[in-house]
Structure 1
Amino acid sequence: MGRHDEETRARRARRRRRFEAMRGRRRLNALVATSTLIAAAAATIAIGVRTADCAYAEGGCVPAMVLPVRGGTVVSPFDAPEQVWFAGHRGIDIAAAEGTPLVAPADGTVSFAGKVGGKSVVSIVHGAWTLTFEPAVTTLAVGSKVSRGRQFGTMSGSSDHCDGACVHWGIRMAGRRYVDPERWLRPQRIVLVD
């Protein structure tokens, strides 16, 4: 009986230590997750974009992106829907004719080139953003790197959006939220917000 009691106590002690170790790891994971969220919130609060005083910034300011049609004109502005599933204009239309060269607004990687619902689309991933162009075609393979201001394709192919007179450019953030591409065409600099 004595030996059996000792083994039982030893087994219970090992189980208790394992349980305490698991509890400790859970607490540590929760602490790390909380600290990460707090740091991300602080970074979001502490950083802003300022465009008004760009001319006076040291070294000036440059736009984050360039227009995909050199010398192009925006003919239809961005019109965000109230909810992601509502109707709206999730990008801008830039005047262009069949065969007009398209340049990459920013450095990135071709993530898609083909048809979506019968429309010719090219997508470029830039960080957490996906830039889409329609109608557009490219000879580049998916995975090809593209450089800001360098040609990646042409305004060509099928689309019921622009009737051969423009190219549609959209920017989608992670998830399904679209943002106004014109915002990234204005000179800006990152500043700390008080």
Structure 2
Amino acid sequence: MGQYEQAAHIRRAKRRKRIEAMRGRMRRNALVSVTMLVVSASALAVGVRETGCAHADDGCAPAMVMPVKGGIVASAFDGPAQVWLAGHRGIDIEAQEGTTLVAPVDGSISFSGKVAGKSVVSIVHGAWTLTFEPAVTSLVVGSRVRRGEPFGTVSGTSDHCDGTCVHWGMRAAGRRYVDPERWLHAQRVMLVE
């Protein structure tokens, strides 16, 4: 086999691997979507609803904490109808350069570096990825972080609100973006009679 035939063979093998990986992701995403649909339909069938809680001491507490102590949301979530369409895929929280960021939930650092010239830190928690920009951390990828403990600082510029905020995005493994602010409110799931 000549040099050019061997290179073409390698390219075809890599392309087959990429296609198989894509098919696997599509199957997993379809399974997750069907599972979520079944769970949602089941919840509606039995009358499950989320309600606010008056007190956290009765076992009802927010799933996550605000990454900026006393943070104020400057710009709300406006998720796109499709992942490739325009929208605001997170929330902007008022924060100045050097503001300490705390982990909203237990997890581990999954990324720390530059994306499109902006400093980004990501935390993975189960199937969720929480991303903060502009942000930096001294922790290495794989480091565990605990809910409410510092993991980094606001640093750099942002195309969201240059120098006055940190953007917090949150997405599921299937690439679906969700509103992080939703997880900051105490909720209880209960059956409706």
TM value normalised by structure 1:
0.73
Q: Does 1:127 align with 2:149?
A: no
Preserved contact between residue 51 and residue 189 of structure 2 (Cα < 8 Å): no
Corresponding residue of 2:186: 187
Kindly tell me: are residues 192 and 76 of structure 1, through their superposed partners in 2, closer, same or farther at Cα, counting changes over 3 Å? Answer: same
Unaligned 5+ segments in structure 2 are 1-32
Aligned to 1:20: none
Contact 2:56/2:186 (CA < 8 Å) preserved in 1? no
Alignment of 1:1-194 (within 5 A): 43-47=39-43, 48=48, 50-52=50-52, 54-55=53-54, 59-192=58-191
CA contact 2:112–2:137 (8 Å) conserved in 1 = yes
Distance in 2 between the 1:91 and 1:120 partners?
Answer: 16
The amino acid that maps onto 1:86 is L
Quote how far apart the aligned CAs of 1:83 are: 1.4
Structure 1 equivalent of residue 25 of structure 2: none
Distance 1:42 1:96, change over 3 A: same
Q: Counterpart amino acid of 2:173?
A: A
Q: Measure the CA separation in 1 of the matches of 2:135 and 2:70.
A: 18
- The CA deviation string for residues 17-59 of structure 1, in whole angstroms up to 9 with x for no partner, is xxxxxxxxxxxxxxxxxxxx9987654444555123x237981
Change (3 A) 1:43 1:137: same
Deviations 1:119-161 (A, max 9, x none): 1000000111100000000000000000000000000124332
Distance 1:49 1:96, change over 3 A: farther
- Name the larger-Rg structure: 1
Q: 1:39 to 1:136 in 2, by over 3 A?
A: closer
Secondary structure in 2 matching 1:97: coil
| Percent identical | 68
CA distance in 2, matches of 1:46, 1:63: 24
Deviation at 1:165, TM superposition (A): 0.3
The 1:117–1:40 alpha-carbon spacing in structure 2 relative to 1, beyond 3 Å, is closer
Q: Report the aligned-residue RMSD.
A: 2.4
- Asked if the contact 1:131/1:169 (under 8 Å) is kept, the reply is yes
Residues 51 and 143 of structure 1, relative CA distance in 2, 3 Å threshold: same
How many matched pairs?
A: 157
1 CA distance for matches of 2:111 and 2:158? 16
